[in-house]
Structure 1
C-alpha cells in the first residue's frame, strides 16, 4: 500500500496490514520516499548470514562492481537505442556512448568502494549529459531535460524521474522484506536519508527499464500536459494529483510487462524480477553466486 502526500490511514487499517503482511509505504507529494511500516522481519539465521557477508569489504566491493557495471551498461544500451532510425546521430550522443564504454572497462580495476563512487559519478554525468538527445524535437520546451536535479526537482522532466524513482524504491523495499533480508544493511550506498541502503543498492538495476524508459517514452509521445499534470512552487516543480495518477498508471502498466532474464531465461513480470534479483543477491553469499546484476538491456 502506498500513501502519497498527506493521505491518512487509520490505526485499525495499520493493524490489519501488519497482520496480513502488507507493507505500507509513505511518499511525499513531490515523490520523495519517506519510509515504511512493515511487520515482516524474516528469518534471523538469514539475516545473520547477510550481516556476515556484508561485513566483508571484499564481498561488498565485488557486489558493488557488479552493480555499477549493470547500471552503466544499461544506461549505455539505452543511449544506443536512441541512435536507431535516425538519419543523423548527434555527435555528443556518439561521444557519450564511446566514453561510457571506456569508463566501464575501468571498473574491474577499482580497488575500493570509495573509488567506485567516483567512477559511477563519471558514468552518470555522461549518461544524463547525453539524455537530452533522446528527446523528440517536437516536445514542449517545458518538458526538455538539461541536467539531473532533485531535492527538490526544478523542472518537469526531473519531477517525473524523482517520482518514478520513489515508486521503484517502494517496490524494491517490498521485495527485500518479502525475501526476509535486512534493508538497512547494504553493500554500496551509505545511510544518509530515510531510504534503506540495500534498497538504494538494488534499485540501481531497475532505474533505466522501469523509470527512465517510461518517462522518456511518455514525454516523446506527448502524454503530459505541462499545465494540468504539474505544479510550480517558486523554483520547485512537482507532479499534480492528476499527474501522479497518470504516472502511477504508466508505471504499473510497465511493471506488469514481462522481461526474459538473460541468464536464467525466465520470462517474468518486472514485479517478479525485482524479487528474483533480491534472491539472486542472497545467493552471492550462499555459494551459488554469478547470477546477480545480470539484467541488462539488449
Structure 2
C-alpha cells in the first residue's frame, strides 16, 4: 500500500532508532520511515511524545479511529506549508464567491453519479434511467438556480437519495439500504459507506496538508470548529468514484459477504477485522488505479487526482480561474 500504513491490531507504536516499531503480543513489527506519508490506527494504539516528535520531523500524518470505525482525530505535524497570502485570499473567496465554488462541487457530484449510473444503464440495468434523466433534466438546473447554500445542499441531498434508490437494481438484496444511517451504521451497506467515506475524508486531509490551503475555510460545508471542513468539500466529488465503486465491486463480485464480514448487534453493524482488511485493500487499490488525464496527457492515479483538485482550488483562489472538480466523464 505504498505510502500508507494501516494498523488494525491493539498494541504500542514507538520509535526504534530511525524506524517505527509496532509491538503487539510480545512481537515487534518494524515499519520503515522512508516513503511513509500517513498511518491509520484502526484499533487501540499506545504512543508517546518521543514518537510524535519523530513523526513530526518526518512530516507523517497519523489518523485515529474509534471502535465503531469512526474518525477520532489526526496528528498533524507542525504546518510547514503556511501561506498568509493564500489564507487571506481563501477567506476573501469565501466572502465574495462562496456560492460559485459550492455550486461547482455539487454539480461535480451529480456528474460523477450520472457516470456511475450510466455504466449500469449500458449494462442492461434500464431501471436506473429515471434517475439518469432526472439528473440531466432537473438536477443541474436546480444547482444553477440555488440562491443559497441551504437550497444547494437540499438539491445535493435529493441527489444522494435518488442514487441510493437505484441500488436494488444492481446490488444483491442483502446489501440494499432503506436510508443512510451514519452513527452508528445499522446495516452492511451503511457500514461500508461510513467506513469508506471516513477513509476518503482522511485521505483528503493528508492531501490538503501538503498544500498551502487552510483546512478550516470551506465553501459548501459551513466552516466550523472541531473538523476539517475543507476536506469535506473536496472529498465529495470523489465519493461516487472511489467509495461507491469500491463497494459495488466488492459486493457484486462477492469479495465481501454479509454472513462472513460483518459484526451485527442490536442497533449497529460494522465490518469485522477480515472485512476491514478486504475493504482497505480494495480501497487502496482504487486510489492507486489510473486513468488517462485529458489535460496532462498521461496516466494519473485517483490519489493524484485528489491532490490536483487541491491545486485547482488554489488557482481558483489566487488566479480567479473557474473551479472544476474532478469529472469522471472528462477525465481530469
Corresponding residue SS for 1:145: coil
Larger radius of gyration: 2
**Aligned CA distance change for structure 1 residues 124 and 269 (closer, same or farther; 3 Å):** same
Residue of structure 2 aligned with 1:34, choices 72, 96, 108? 72
**Aligned CA distance change for structure 1 residues 261 and 111 (closer, same or farther; 3 Å):** farther
The one of the two structures with greater contact order (alpha-carbon pairs below 8 A, sep at least 6) is 1
CA distance in 2, matches of 1:261, 1:147: 35
- Which residue is equivalent to 2:198? 166
Give the superposition deviation at 1:210: 0.8
Gaps of 5+ in 1: none
Once the two structures are superposed, the pairs formed by residues 71-150 of structure 1 within 5 Å of their partners are 71-86=109-124, 89-90=126-127, 93-101=128-136, 102-135=138-171, 139=172, 141-150=173-182
**Aligned CA distance change for structure 1 residues 111 and 212 (closer, same or farther; 3 Å):** same
Q: In the TM superposition, what whole-angstrom CA distance separates every residue of 1:53-86 from its partner, at most 9, and x where no partner exists?
A: 22x1x41100000000000111122111111232
Do residues 16 (structure 1) and 54 (structure 2) align? yes
Aligned pair count? 289
CA distance in 1, matches of 2:158, 2:225: 23
Structure with the bigger percentage of strand: 2
**Aligned CA distance change for structure 1 residues 132 and 235 (closer, same or farther; 3 Å):** same
CA distance in 2, matches of 1:121, 1:250: 27
**Aligned CA distance change for structure 1 residues 65 and 263 (closer, same or farther; 3 Å):** farther
Q: In the TM superposition, what whole-angstrom CA distance separates every residue of 1:199-254 from its partner, at most 9, and x where no partner exists?
A: 00000021011110010111000011323311112120001111111111111111
In the superposition, the TM-score normalised over structure 2's length comes to 0.81
Which one is further off, 163-172 or 39-48? Answer: 39-48
CA distance in 2, matches of 1:106, 1:264: 32
CA distance in 2, matches of 1:70, 1:212: 15
In the superposition, the TM-score normalised over structure 1's length comes to 0.90
- Which residue is equivalent to 1:51? 91
**Aligned CA distance change for structure 1 residues 199 and 213 (closer, same or farther; 3 Å):** same
Tell whether the 8 Å contact from 2:185 to 2:270 is kept in structure 1 after alignment.
Answer: yes
